[in-house]
Structure 1
């Protein structure tokens, strides 16, 4: 079905369901805009990083990059996440080396980057745990459609290659909300291709691999040039990772898994002595399963300095308006 999402035509039988989904989505947003559904307003600025399409667009690397830029500017950001893929039901703070089976792979990856993280289905309650720790800005990872948490700034991440697919909402297409919703956000970041008008270019940089069992061991991706490797990816869009390895000169044997896949030892047992290379998001779940020749590729979101400068300027305006006391109105 997903292949049809990115073709010229929608799935005809799913079009009525997509129309119903669009109606329900618009009605829910209207209820929040009219105050019929209550938003929770925090006493600090809230920055949402999300997208309007399903699948991986690069939200987590961008969230980490934004948090690092805020730290460099003197802020103490905290990230709130749903914790998708984890078993934790109540709001909780994460420690370094937290269990991804309990808290989710993406929150653990963010926390291991040196950023405070809280997870919970009740995101405002999770955010309050971060405020109690002294965080003065909340980043909501994958929170664009979570309207209960009022926000001051919205950042929409767009897959530069796949864009918005056929332009239809689920299940006829890949969209959670109409394309017009992306245009209404404060910043639009295009990952992996030429940005459109009003969009900021982002690329993911990763030229080294880290040994999962012995993290002090690193090697350049180009050191495998011309060699075969097992490439493992349980992310939203595995082909992006496989292509990155091919561009480094590897002969890639693809092993794509569903996003947030819970790995078992059998998933990494390929019956040969070839190295295994995976994403950092997968590696946090495979530390107990990995052999001595298992590696992961950490990536960083690279954006021009003007993006972060404009974001900091917008935050200063928000702070001057008493922060979340007057958050952006839903449009």
Structure 2
């Protein structure tokens, strides 16, 4: 394994009982979460509306569940349907998180955040990073966007939303169903019932959930040039690099294609330097697209990005679009708004 490893506590997704200190802190955290929700419901803390529909993509658990691939697919589908979507994100991991900024495909990940840069590159949509998603949404509206997609904003109640999409890791689900830090949950599992859509990434979708699969077909050289079929690495050993919320998912996907994986799991949003890739053996390096945007500056001909595409049933898109007002109407749908 890499010298910079994923540090998810084993008891989050295992049978072990969390330490007493973690359980006590989880009780305090739960009290704060409940109080905050109550203050929003009572109007003491106020949600702000923007004059276009808002779709929030998020999760209840900490770590990667597949939000970014779904956000990309959502933006691309909205564009296909004639909308001009803009993406609001916090831009976690960028150098100055206190400052709002526009993100384009050529923005350095250290300035825009790895996920916003990836979204901008894949979609060409306007992307605004700001700790205050409401301010980001307003800037996007002023820039001509007629629908806002809020990336990882399920708990950001200051921004009123039309549609909430929860993304669930189909393998890990909610782990031990405990709140932070005793478990992986940001909010109680019961909060899921308030979301308009529950999308399950991999695994089996239950009643009332939508299945999402991430398809990876090609490996793209970071130095440029023609991509090659990902399956062409089958039967060969590679260094697999993943600095995402659930690195194991990436490794298992590669193994499913018969690729011999030497895994290197880094912390989510890890800032790579060339020395991180001193693995001691010269093998092809396959990495997630999110990691690749941060490694192009020192990559050699052995480095490949593995893009993924989120695939969902057509019925999901029909149901989602039905939640939105007529496109380009400029006014949010009162019926579909979630009152926070």
TM-score category, normalised to shorter length: over 0.9
Hey, what's the Cα distance between the residues in 2 that align with 1:321 and 1:138?
11
Query: Within 2, Cα distance between the matches of 1:318 and 1:212?
Result: 37
Structure 2 partner of 1:253: 262
Deviation at 1:324, TM superposition (A): 6.3
TM-score, with structure 1 as normaliser: 0.96
Partners of 2:332 and 2:284 in 1: CA distance: 50
Partner of 2:199: 189
Are 1:152 and 1:318, in contact at CA under 8 Å, matched by a contact in 2? no
Q: How many angstroms apart in 2 are the aligned matches of 1:191 and 1:95?
A: 27
| Per-residue deviation, residues 124-180 of structure 1 (Å, max 9, x unmatched) | 112222112210000110000011111111000000000011111011111000110
CA contact (8 A) 1:48 1:143 kept: yes
| 2:232 aligned to which of 212, 223, 227 | 223
Which residue of 2 is the match for residue 233 of structure 1?
242
1:56 aligns to what SS in structure 2? Answer: coil
- What secondary structure does 1:189 align onto? strand
Contact 1:46 1:324 in 2 (8 A): no
Q: Does structure 2 retain, via aligned residues, the 8 Å contact 1:209–1:298?
A: yes
1:280-319 aligned at under 5 Å gives the runs 280-316=289-325
Matched, 1:108 2:117: yes
* Deviation for aligned residue 1:294: 0.3
CA offsets per residue over residues 26-56 of structure 1, 9 Å max, x none? 1001111111112121000111000000111
Change in Cα spacing, 1:321 to 1:72, as seen in structure 2 (3 Å) is closer
Corresponding residue number in structure 2 for 1:23: 31
1:56 to 50, 64, 83: 64
Q: Provide structure 2 residue ranges, at least 5 long, that are not aligned to the other structure.
A: 1-7
Q: For residue 37 of structure 1, what is the aligned residue in structure 2?
A: 45
Answer whether contact 2:62 2:186 (CA < 8 A) is retained. yes
- Residue 120 and residue 324 in structure 1: after superposition, are their counterparts in 2 closer, same or farther (change >3 A)? farther
SS in 2 for 1:93: strand
- Give the Å deviation of 1:272: 2.9
Q: What is the CA RMSD across the aligned residues, in angstroms?
A: 1.7
Are the aligned partners of 1:276 and 1:293 in contact in 2 as well (CA < 8 Å)? yes
**Deviation digits for residues 296-322 of structure 1 (CA, Å, limit 9, x no counterpart):** 100010000000100000112899894
Residues 1:213 and 2:223 are matched in the alignment: yes
Q: Give the C-alpha shift of residue 182 in structure 1.
A: 1.0
**More divergent stretch after superposition (304-313 vs 3-12):** 3-12
Q: Which runs of 5+ in 1 are unaligned?
A: none
* Partner in structure 1 of residue 3 of structure 2: none
When the two structures are aligned, how many residues end up with a matched partner? Answer: 329
Helix, strand or coil at the partner of 1:310: helix
1:137 to 136, 140, 147: 147
What secondary structure is seen at the aligned counterpart in 1 of 2:92?
coil
TM-score normalised by length of structure 2:
0.93
